[in-house]
Structure 1
Amino acid sequence: MTGKERDLHITDIGTLKALAHPLRMKLYRGLIVAGRATASQLAEQVDEAVSLVSYHLRKLAEHHLIEEAEPQSADGRERWWQPASDGISIRDRDFRDAPEKTAAHLAATRLFHEQRADMYRRYLDERATWSAEWNAAAPDSESLLRLTAVELDELREELVALARKYDEKGRSAEANGDTEGREHVALYMYGFPFRV
């Protein structure tokens, strides 16, 4: 892979539907975290048959969400995979021009939210196994703001930029051998209008 994209901007319904499959999203997320993996390694993570995982990895590859990676072992039978970009970007505005696109976007968004909520619930269930330092550092807050749509979009852009700054800082430190105390961290941001 050369010139890896920062974020793949998904604008077509076919790619969105390919990703919006529960197992495929888990596999994609697993590859983002691992960087590179085989179907066997991913099958173990998601507790599914290797043949099923291989099928879904090929579907993700057909939509250029993942790609083959350089083999990481001498075993030439194993096919290695990696994400085709650092992440994905899916915007509502790209799926508003047809009812089926709007419905597909809503279904995908709900799936992504459910999987994120499951990950957070798993953290809460395992919270006692994490150190006091990690539990104190893990944010859990709610802010009820009074904004315009433009201001919310500006806030989103600033928060994304701040998250990227810390991601780059952590990856750079890790590349320089500073791995002590580093863990994978999920950071979810939701901002939405509501009426009382």
Structure 2
Amino acid sequence: MAREETRPITDLGTLKALTHPLRLRLYRLLYIAGTATASQLADQVDEAVSLVSYHLRKLAEHGLIEEAERQSGDGRERWWRPSSQGVTVRDKDFRDAPERAAAHLAATRLFHDQRAEMYRRYLDERATWSAEWNAAAPDSESLVRLTAGELDDLRAELMALLRRYEDRSRSAEAAGDTAGRENVALHVYGFPFRV
């Protein structure tokens, strides 16, 4: 089955399914791995295989992941993969009712909490990375005065740039160019604030 480019999440049930803390971690790990079994993922999250299997089935019920082609001869193992190249969750799709808006806010907070935890882990492990990786890892803050339209333009430009790097990386990996490649998280936040 061909995977969607990016799947927009607009329904409350799917949003709630994804925003269980363990499910979100499993989805992210599966996205990074490409394919994996419940056993492999359970080792990474330090949870029971039965619990991980349950949460994978919940993600599959909402179409966020799907069964993948078997990677080994063990017929008992069920392989999973993301059903798309990622998901998008936008505020505008959940503003129509208080329950939906509250669910979106809770989801956004969980996404940011897990992202912050990823970055804290990198900081704790920074000494184990080479000087080259540490020099290449950006850590910056910019405070600018923009209109909402300008911020939206900036968002679109940054996303287009990121997509070009994603496409380049996928092409290189498909051609066997994996030397020196690591998983990289890039978190971009842009938001208005008042002092």
SS at match of 1:9: strand
| Corresponding letter in the other structure for 1:83 | P
Q: Which residue of 1 aligns with 2:38?
A: 39
Q: Which residue of 2 aligns with 1:163?
A: 162
Q: Which residue of 2 aligns with 1:118?
A: 117
Q: Which residue of 2 aligns with 1:68?
A: 67
Which deviates more from structure 2 when the two are superposed, residues 122-131 or residues 165-174? 165-174
Q: Can you give the 5+ residue segments of structure 1 that lack an aligned partner in the other structure?
A: none
| Corresponding letter in the other structure for 2:173 | E
SS at match of 1:89: strand
Q: Which residue of 2 aligns with 1:139?
A: 138
| Corresponding letter in the other structure for 1:154 | D
* Identity level (%): 77
| Corresponding letter in the other structure for 1:35 | G
Q: Which residue of 2 aligns with 1:97?
A: 96
SS at match of 1:67: strand
Give the superposition deviation at 1:151: 1.1
Q: Distance in 2 between matches of 1:64 and 1:90?
A: 15
| Corresponding letter in the other structure for 1:64 | G
TM-score of the pair, normalised by structure 1: 0.98
Give the superposition deviation at 1:178: 1.1
SS at match of 2:8: strand
Give the superposition deviation at 1:154: 1.1
SS at match of 1:147: coil
Root-mean-square deviation (Å): 0.6
Q: Distance in 2 between matches of 1:103 and 1:62?
A: 23
Give the superposition deviation at 1:80: 0.3
| CA deviation vs aligned residue, 1:56-110 (integer Å, no higher than 9, x gap) | 0000000000000011111010000000000000100000000000000000000
Which deviates more from structure 2 when the two are superposed, residues 167-176 or residues 87-96? 167-176
TM-score of the pair, normalised by structure 2: 0.99
1:57 partnered with 2:56: yes
Runs of 4+ deviating beyond 6 Å: none
Q: Distance in 1 between matches of 2:20 and 2:72?
A: 30
| Corresponding letter in the other structure for 2:52 | V
Instruction: Give the count of matched residue pairs.
Output: 195
